[in-house]
C-alpha cells in the first residue's frame, strides 16, 4: 500500500497552498489557497491535474482548510462554486466564521480598487461557506466508513489547525502554518504523539532560528514610537485578522504604559468587527488571554479609532493598520503611495510578503523607487521596518515537531526552495527520516503501514499474559528477553481471516494429528559404592547444575527432570535404549533418559555431564 502526495500549490514556494493526498484510494485535499503575487491563472492551483472531466466529487473525498489566510482558503469559493466541487469541506469553527470576512475583504479590494474582473462573487462566498462542516479540536470525525480526520491546535492565527488523517492503518499529518511558541494572543501548536507514515510540514522559515521574541517586539515598538515621536506617520499593512490583533494588543499596551496620545487607526470597520469574533472564540486563544477574559476582554482596545480616508493628508503623527497586508493592492497600497515619499514616515511590514507584491520589493533590498501595479512609480524615502517576529515556526520548531512525531517520511511545502533543501538535508541526516521537497505538480509516493487483522486463540493470549523471561549472556551484558510470542503460530488459510494459535493448537487447526519426535538414551553413570538410589540422583543433579547454568532441576527418589528432559533409574538387564556398554561393573548404573526435540541441545549437555567421569 502506498500514500501519494500530489502538490498542487506551495511546492517550493509560498502561496496557493494545496496538497492532495491519496491514502488507500481516498483523496483528501488539504487547503485550497490563492497566490497573492500572481495576477494570471497561476494564482489558483491547477485543479485540472485532479480530474480531466472536472468531476471533482468523484475524485475528492473531502477538502480540509487549515486556517483563514488567503494562501490557504483563497481558492475555495472558486473550487466549490466555479469548478463545482460539492463534497464535504471541513474547517475549524473560527476559520468558518472568519474566512468569509477575509475572502470578502480580498474580493472587494481586487474588484473595487484594482478594477479586476470578479473571480468569485459575494454570493459565491456565502454559498461556499454553507457547505463547510465546522471542526472542533481533537474531535475525531468519520468522513466516511474508512476516512477519519482530527484537528490539532496550530497557533499561527485564530482557529489554525494541523490535520491528522487516517485511512485503514495508514496515517498522515498536514500541518498547515503553525507556530511552536506562544504569542500575545495564541498558544503554541499542540499535537499528540501519533504513528505517522507521512508528515507534510510548512517550512516558511526553514533555516532561521529565532531567539526570544521580546527584544524583537521591543524593536518594533521602538521603531513605531520613534516615528510618531518625530511627527511621522506609521503604516502597518496587514490583513484584517490575525497579525493586526496581535500587533495592536502590543501597541495598545505600550501606549498605555508610555502614556502616548498619538491615535492608532484601523483602516476599515473590519477589524473592529473581527474583535467581536475574537471575543466569542476566546477558547481558541492562549491560556493567558482565556483566563483574563471574564474581567477584561483583551480585544477591547482603548486607543484604537476608525480611520477615515480624509485623514490620509491630515497633519500630525498617527499609526494606521491598513488592509491588505503585503501592500499587494487596495487601501494599504494607496496610503503607501502618499506616505512613502516622506522620510519622517515608517512602513512596518509584519510577516512574510510573497514574491510579486510591493511588500516583497521593499523587503528585498532598499529600493528608492517602486513600481506600483499600473505603471505608477513612487519614491520611497520612508523608513522600512520588517517585524522580526512571526506567527510561523522557525527551523528549530520544525525539527522539534518532526522529531516528536517521528514520521516514516516528511514532505516539505510552503517555503523557499534553497532553505527547504537545506532543511531537507538536516531532516535526512540528523533525524534519519526520508524527506521530500516536491515542486508544484509533482507527486511523492511513500509506503504506508498496514496491519493484518487476525483472531487470536485464548490459549495463545493466555500464554502471552504470563511473563516468560529468558536470560542470556550476550557479549558482556546480561540480556533479558521475553519471547512469549514465539509460542504463537500465525495460520493463514486462503480467503479466510488469519488466525493466531498456540503451537500446541496448530495440528488441530490443520486437522492433523500431532507427531511427537523425541530422543532416548539409557545413559551409564558412575556412582560411589555407598550411595543408594536417591543419593545417585542427588549426585547427578549436582553434576548437571555445575555444567548447565540456569537449569531448573526437579528431583525425586528415582528420577530427575530438567525441562522436557527426564532421567530415571533403569533396572532392566537389557534395556533397548542402551548403547555400547553393558552393566559389567557394579560401579556403573543406568539412567534411562528421554527428551523432546525442543530441548535437543540441553539433553546432550546433560548426558555429557553425567557421562563425564565414567
Partner 1 sequence: MELTCLSKGDGFHYPPCHMLNISGFRVLIDCPLDLLAITIFSPVPCDVGFEASAYPSEEDAQNPIQKKQKMERQMSFDDLVCVEPWYKTVKTLHLWEVSLIDIVLISNPMGLLGLPFLTQNPRFCAKIYMTEATAKIGQLMMEDLVSMHMEFRRLHGPEDSSFPCWTKNLDGEEVPSVLKNVVFNGDDLGSWMRLYSLDDIKSCMKKVQAVKFSEEVCYNGTLVIKALSSGLDIGACNWLINGPNGSLSYVSDSILVSHHAKSFDFHGLKGADVMIYSGFSCLQTASPTDSDYISTSSDENDESLAASLLDNEESLEELEKLAFVCSCAEESADAGGSTLITITRVGIVLQLLELMSNSLESSSLKVPIFVISSVAEELLAYANTIPEWLCEQRQEKLISGEPSFGHLQFIKDKKIHLFPAIHSPNLITSWQEPCILFAPHWSLRLGPSVQLLQRWREDPKSLLVLEDGISSGLGLLPFRPIAMKILQCSFRSGIRLQKLPSLLSLLKPKIVLVPDVVNQRINLSAIKTTSILNYSENKTLSLARIADNADVEIMAELATKLSWKKLRQRENFGIARLKGELVMENGKQRLVSGLDQEEDSGKTRPLRHWGSVAPETLLDALMKMSVTGSIEHSIGENGSEDKSIIHLTNPSSGMVETSEMCTTIITDDETVASKIFQAIDGILDGI
Catalytic residues: 202
Query: Which listed residue (515, 552, 586, 613) binds partner 1 by CB under 8 A?
Result: 515
Interface characters, 417-456, with partner 1 (x: CB under 8 A): --------------------------------xxxxxxxx
Cα separation, 256 vs 264, whole angstroms: 12
Q: What are phi and psi of 6, to 5 degrees?
A: -100, 125
Query: Which listed residue (378, 570, 606, 610) binds Zn ion by CB under 5 A?
Result: 570
What is the C-alpha radius of gyration for the chain, rounded to an integer number of angstroms? Answer: 37
71 binds, among partner 1, Zn ion, none (CB under 5 to 8 A by kind): Zn ion
Nearer to partner 1, 369 or 481 (CB): 481
> Could you tell me the smallest distance in angstroms from the CB atom of residue 485 to partner 1?
5
DSSP 143: S
> Could you tell me the smallest distance in angstroms from the CB atom of residue 572 to Zn ion?
5
- Contacts of 255 by beta carbon, 8 Å cutoff, 6+ apart: 262, 264, 302, 303
Query: Which listed residue (166, 457, 560, 606) binds partner 1 by CB under 8 A?
Result: 457
Q: Residue 421, SS3?
A: helix
Cα separation, 97 vs 277, whole angstroms: 8
280 binds, among partner 1, Zn ion, none (CB under 5 to 8 A by kind): partner 1
Cα separation, 571 vs 28, whole angstroms: 79
407: exposed, middle or buried (C-beta count within 10 Å: 0-12, 13-18, 19+)? Answer: buried
Nearer to partner 1, 306 or 371 (CB): 306
Cα separation, 44 vs 74, whole angstroms: 8
Alpha-carbon distance values, 446 to 27, 196, 199, 430, 556 (Å) = 15, 11, 11, 20, 62
Query: Which listed residue (145, 514, 530, 552) binds partner 1 by CB under 8 A?
Result: 514
Q: What are phi and psi of 264, to 5 degrees?
A: -110, 125
Alpha-carbon distance values, 130 to 47, 76, 78, 453 (Å) = 22, 12, 14, 40
Query: What is the footprint of partner 1 within residues 584-613 (CB under 8 A)?
Result: 594, 597-598, 600, 604, 607
Nearer to partner 1, 223 or 456 (CB): 456
> Could you tell me the smallest distance in angstroms from the CB atom of residue 179 to Zn ion?
10
- Contacts of 252 by beta carbon, 8 Å cutoff, 6+ apart: 264, 301, 302, 303, 304
Nearer to partner 1, 323 or 386 (CB): 323
Q: Residues touching partner 1: how many (CB under 8 A)? A: 81
Whether a cis peptide bond, with omega within 30° of 0, leads into 324 is yes
Part of the chain binding partner 1 (CB under 8 A), chosen from 10-18, 224-232, 320-328, 508-516:
508-516
Query: Checking DSSP bridges between strand 435-436 and strand 410-415, what pairing results, if any?
Result: parallel
272 binds, among Zn ion, partner 1, none (CB under 5 to 8 A by kind): none
503 binds, among partner 1, Zn ion, none (CB under 5 to 8 A by kind): partner 1
587 binds, among partner 1, Zn ion, none (CB under 5 to 8 A by kind): none
Nearer to Zn ion, 223 or 575 (CB): 575
Crossing angle of helices 269-280 and 93-108, rounded to 10°: 170
Query: Which listed residue (575, 583, 588, 594) binds Zn ion by CB under 5 A?
Result: 575
Cα separation, 564 vs 551, whole angstroms: 12
Q: Which neighbouring-strand residues pair with 378?
A: 370
Other beta carbons within 10 Å of 110: 20
Interface characters, 118-147, with partner 1 (x: CB under 8 A): -----------x----x-xxxxxxx-----
Interface characters, 291-330, with partner 1 (x: CB under 8 A): --xx------------------------------------
Crossing angle of helices 122-130 and 93-108, rounded to 10°: 170
494 binds, among Zn ion, partner 1, none (CB under 5 to 8 A by kind): partner 1
Query: Checking DSSP bridges between strand 377-379 and strand 369-371, what pairing results, if any?
Result: antiparallel
Query: What is the footprint of partner 1 within residues 530-549 (CB under 8 A)?
Result: none
Query: Which listed residue (282, 522, 607, 610) binds Zn ion by CB under 5 A?
Result: 522
Contact indicator for 591, 505 with CB cutoff of 8 Å: no
Part of the chain binding partner 1 (CB under 8 A), chosen from 102-110, 203-211, 244-252, 504-512:
504-512
234 binds, among Zn ion, partner 1, none (CB under 5 to 8 A by kind): none
Nearer to partner 1, 368 or 465 (CB): 465
Question: Does residue 177 interact with Zn ion by CB under 5 A?
Answer: yes
- What is the contact surface with Zn ion in residues (CB under 5 A)? 69, 71, 177, 522, 570, 575, 577, 592
Amino acid at each position: 500500500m502506498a500514500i501519494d502526495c500530489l502538490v498542487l500549490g506551495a511546492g517550493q514556494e509560498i502561496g496557493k497552498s494545496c496538497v492532495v493526498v491519496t491514502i488507500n484510494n481516498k483523496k483528501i485535499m488539504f487547503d485550497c489557497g490563492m497566490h497573492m503575487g500572481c495576477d494570471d491563472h497561476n494564482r489558483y492551483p491547477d485543479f485540472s491535474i485532479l480530474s480531466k472531466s472536472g468531476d471533482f466529487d468523484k475524485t475528492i473525498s473531502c477538502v480540509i482548510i487549515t486556517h483563514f489566510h488567503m494562501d490557504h482558503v483563497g481558492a475555495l469559493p472558486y473550487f466549490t462554486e466555479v469548478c463545482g466541487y460539492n463534497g464535504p469541506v471541513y474547517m475549524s469553527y473560527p476559520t468558518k466564521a472568519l474566512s468569509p470576512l477575509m475572502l470578502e475583504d480580498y474580493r472587494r479590494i481586487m474588484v473595487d480598487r484594482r478594477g479586476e474582473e470578479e473571480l468569485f462573487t459575494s454570493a459565491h462566498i456565502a454559498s461556499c461557506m454553507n457547505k463547510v462542516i465546522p471542526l472542533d479540536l481533537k474531535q475525531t470525525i468519520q468522513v466516511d466508513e474508512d476516512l477519519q480526520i482530527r484537528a490539532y491546535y496550530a497557533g499561527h492565527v485564530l482557529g489554525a489547525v494541523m490535520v491528522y488523517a487516517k485511512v485503514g492503518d495508514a496515517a498522515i499529518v498536514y500541518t498547515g502554518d503553525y507556530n511552536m511558541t506562544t504569542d500575545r494572543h495564541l498558544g503554541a501548536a499542540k499535537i499528540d504523539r501519533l504513528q505517522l507514515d507521512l508528515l507534510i510540514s510548512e517550512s516558511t522559515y526553514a533555516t532561521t532560528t529565532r531567539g526570544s521574541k521580546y527584544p524583537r517586539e521591543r524593536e518594533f515598538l521602538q521603531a513605531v514610537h520613534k516615528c510618531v515621536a518625530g511627527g511621522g506617520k506609521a503604516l502597518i499593512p496587514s490583513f484584517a485578522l490575525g497579525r493586526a490583533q496581535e500587533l495592536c494588543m502590543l501597541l495598545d499596551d505600550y501606549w498605555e504604559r508610555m502614556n502616548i496620545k498619538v491615535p492608532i487607526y484601523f483602516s476599515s470597520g473590519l477589524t473592529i468587527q473581527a474583535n467581536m469574533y475574537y471575543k466569542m472564540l476566546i477558547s481558541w486563544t492562549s491560556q493567558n488571554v482565556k483566563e483574563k477574559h471574564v474581567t477584561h476582554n483583551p480585544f477591547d482596545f482603548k486607543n484604537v479609532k476608525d480611520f477615515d480616508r480624509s485623514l490620509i493628508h491630515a497633519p500630525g503623527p498617527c499609526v494606521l493598520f491598513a488592509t491588505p497586508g503585503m501592500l499587494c493592492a487596495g487601501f494599504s497600497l494607496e496610503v503607501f503611495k502618499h506616505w512613502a515619499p516622506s522620510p519622517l514616515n515608517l512602513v512596518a511590514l509584519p510577516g512574510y510578503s510573497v514574491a510579486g507584491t510591493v511588500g516583497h520589493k521593499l523587503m528585498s533590498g532598499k529600493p528608492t523607487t517602486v513600481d506600483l501595479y499600473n505603471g505608477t512609480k513612487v519614491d520611497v524615502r520612508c523608513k522600512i521596518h520588517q517585524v522580526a517576529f512571526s506567527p510561523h515556526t522557525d527551523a528549530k520548531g520544525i525539527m522539534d515537531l518532526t522529531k516528536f512525531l517521528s514520521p516514516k517520511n516528511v514532505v516539505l511545502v510552503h517555503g523557499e526552495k534553497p532553505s527547504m533543501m537545506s532543511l531537507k538535508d538536516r531532516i535526512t541526516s540528523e533525524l534519519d527520516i526520508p524527506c521530500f521537497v516536491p515542486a508544484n505538480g509533482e507527486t511523492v509516493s511513500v509506503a504506508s503501514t498496514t496491519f493484518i487483522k487476525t483472531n487470536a486463540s485464548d490459549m495463545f493470549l493466555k500464554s502471552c499474559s504470563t511473563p516468560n523471561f529468558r536470560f542470556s549472556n550476550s557479549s558482556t551484558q546480561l540480556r533479558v528477553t521475553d519471547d512469549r510470542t514465539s509460542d504463537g503460530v500465525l495460520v493463514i488459510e486462503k480467503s479466510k481471516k488469519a488466525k493466531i494459535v498456540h503451537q500446541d493448537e496448530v495440528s488441530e487447526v490443520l486437522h492433523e494429528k500431532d507427531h511427537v519426535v523425541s530422543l532416548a538414551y539409557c545413559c551409564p553413570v558412575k556412582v560411589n559404592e555407598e550411595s543408594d538410589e536417591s543419593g545417585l540422583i542427588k549426585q547427578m543433579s549436582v553434576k548437571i547444575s555445575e555444567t548447565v547454568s540456569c537449569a531448573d532441576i526437579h528431583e525425586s527418589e528415582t528420577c530427575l527432570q530438567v525441562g522436557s528432559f527426564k532421567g530415571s533409574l533403569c533396572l532392566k538387564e537389557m534395556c533397548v535404549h542402551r548403547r555400547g556398554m553393558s552393566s559389567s561393573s557394579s560401579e556403573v548404573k543406568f539412567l534411562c533418559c528421554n527428551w523432546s526435540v525442543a530441548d535437543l541441545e540441553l539433553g546432550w549437555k546433560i548426558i555429557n555431564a553425567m557421562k563425564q567421569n565414567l
